[in-house]
Structure 1
């Protein structure tokens, strides 16, 4: 097992002063709720069942196990990583738009993980659960640097969402990482691609070869951190930037994931970047990339997924329809930080309420993976 390196720079402990609240937050939140409601209504009309307002299409639904490394230094032995142990989890690979697009549309890739059997003081709204969710995107920063800009972008989206082409384009612009992306930890350069304006020479590549970033910060026990999930198994690394076969254009990404897990084991490393300089690594501006020169990503756990049926209608029923993934499902030691994360809490709450309509299946928090391991 690879042991984590020790960081040579002391991390900052969290202080409430690092989170600056907007004086006009109440009015802004009301505007955002109305905007998000319009987007959710549009995606509902375009689907045969209630989908998420974003991340609507899943490509891989995988059960795995996280092995937390032993003998972590004190600043990394925090929260759920305080002691070495193995925990089961669910991985949901998806693309960002809320409508169900054919895979020929180049869109940002997303990964949500739900860790099961987590102990600790719970965040509001998840008191009865024993899970911890982490959300990742294949880019290291959020496009909108402030809540005001995010709200403005969402308003534009809600007013044009009935046009499928514009809907895809705005979603990709809002939720894709910025053009300032640094090289990922696995050594490749991420590229911005929008459905109607793909990057020159861009192709649809295998999503299992991507490095995924949390983009937004969260508490890491006494400290503040961002997370990255990095492929480390040779079979995964070989998929980095590898084009996929678009013969099955509607579900080519899903087929590529299913084909891989027929006979391969996947391994990723979960790495943590601790905040060491609040000015250069701000909490409230999610568009700022935290420089690895100030604080490198350090491994704290390994996630292993053995060969399995990586997607099926049954799994989709259990995960896509039966689970919600939110950074606000978890423990206080990993509470999300910053204005974008506070607004995302509202987004997920709105989605949960819509999906809890009487005619829709109820979302629930799992206590084991028995239902998934069919």
Structure 2
């Protein structure tokens, strides 16, 4: 039975829906319809400039720690293995890509991390992220896909939008972060002087909350079979959401988030509802401006399945080292049915691969597109 809060929320969404100029909620737009994507002529040049900037920030980290990390989402907080189960009664319009077969179950591995480009104590407020690899997928692959052992990668953060907005803004912000990499106070001041200062600073005000309580969002858009949309993960266990009151305080361990996650997962595991918003109109549900939060009144979440990670050690040295030094994740290495959309995703086609190559070169390691969950410790 719906709670009073849920009823009020639905009433509010209905009122917003009634005055919105967006098409009907079920008038889902084709992923390749005019206006869904608008590619600029200079994108490849700017993407390469971003990749080079982020490589230099990786080198800054290497010079400090004598180890090369990813260009973003540097600090690992936990790595888990589990299952993704597609709903048995999934509506026909949602039977797309990896969700095409109701009741289908996949092996899944995921990493929790702090999003910033440098190692930070967990007391620091800011965005948190999760990356996820789904194994054993079937269907037409994008050009960078692993044909022998196909997988599908998804990337999430704990905010429904990304402040980097588009390729132009991303280049500006990354150059600013590189320039003041060792001077966070000056970076904060310079960011506050931007015309989009509220947008740029918002994610870094997010409290450092127990990771099991967090909602995770893909932020950017991607193809969903015939349509396009956003995916999100929402805790499916009340015990997880109850941990939202746990925030890292100044006197606590600087590694509290990984410690809390490890303690929780060793006892009971975690599970999420995996849900989808489908777009109906680029004006209301854009792909090119990833800083726009898609209104749930015009793009309501629809449940696709359940993601479950049973009790386990989420921070074993073997698993952490394997993921950090060998796991290759790429949004452009999966199914054509989940093709990334928008300039934020198009730049990732260049940036992610060069970040991985830089990491491998500095660490004298080899990353690869792991094709089986059994290869992960």
**TM-score, length-scaled by structure 2:** 0.85
2:92 counterpart (50, 74, 87): 74
Is 1:104 the equivalent of 2:123?
yes
Shift of 1:332: 0.7
Residues 294-309 of structure 1 correspond to what in structure 2 (within 5 A)? 294-309=298-313
Bigger mean CA deviation after superposition, 284-293 or 18-27: 18-27
Call closer, same or farther: CA 1:105–1:180 in 2, change over 3 Å: closer
1:88 to 93, 107, 118: 107
Distance verdict in 2 for CA 1:297–1:245, change over 3 Å = same
Q: Check 1:323–1:27 CA distance in 2 against 1; reply closer, same or farther (3 A cut).
A: closer
Question: Kindly tell me: are residues 99 and 171 of structure 1, through their superposed partners in 2, closer, same or farther at Cα, counting changes over 3 Å?
Answer: farther
- Contact 2:47/2:167 (8 A) holds in 1: no
**Separation in structure 1 between the aligned mates of residue 289 and residue 246 of structure 2, nearest angstrom:** 33
- The structure-2 alpha-carbon separation of the partners of 1:104 and 1:170, relative to structure 1 and needing over 3 Å to count, comes to farther
Partner of residue 123 from structure 1, selected from 142, 149, 154: 142
1:190-269 matches, cutoff 5 A: 192=202, 194=204, 198=205, 204-244=208-248, 249-269=253-273
Q: Is the helix fraction higher in 1 or 2?
A: 2
What is residue 14 of structure 1 aligned with on the other side? Answer: 31
Q: What is the CA–CA distance in structure 2 between the aligned matches of 1:211 and 1:179, rounded to whole Å?
A: 22
The answer for the alignment partner of 1:136 in structure 2 is 156
Q: How many residues align?
A: 348
1:324 Cα deviation from its structure 2 partner: 2.3
Counterpart residue number, 2:326: 322
Contact 1:47/1:100, CA 8 A, preserved across alignment: no
Q: How far, CA to CA, are the matches of 2:243 and 2:208 in structure 1?
A: 12
Instruction: State the distance in 2 between where 1:96 and 1:333 align.
Output: 27
What is the rounded CA distance, in whole Å, between the counterparts of 2:92 and 2:128 in structure 1? 33
CA RMSD of aligned residues (A): 2.6
- 8 Å CA contact retained: 2:113, 2:130: yes
Residues 16-75 of structure 1: per-residue CA shift (max 9 Å, x gap): 632111122243234323322322221222223210111111111011111111232221
Secondary structure of the residue aligned to 2:93 is coil
2:11 aligned partner: none
**SS of equivalent to 2:39:** coil
Pick which of 28-37 and 346-355 moved more: 28-37
What are the ranges of 5 or more consecutive residues in structure 2 without an aligned counterpart? 1-23
TM-score, length-scaled by structure 1: 0.85
SS in 1 for 2:175: helix
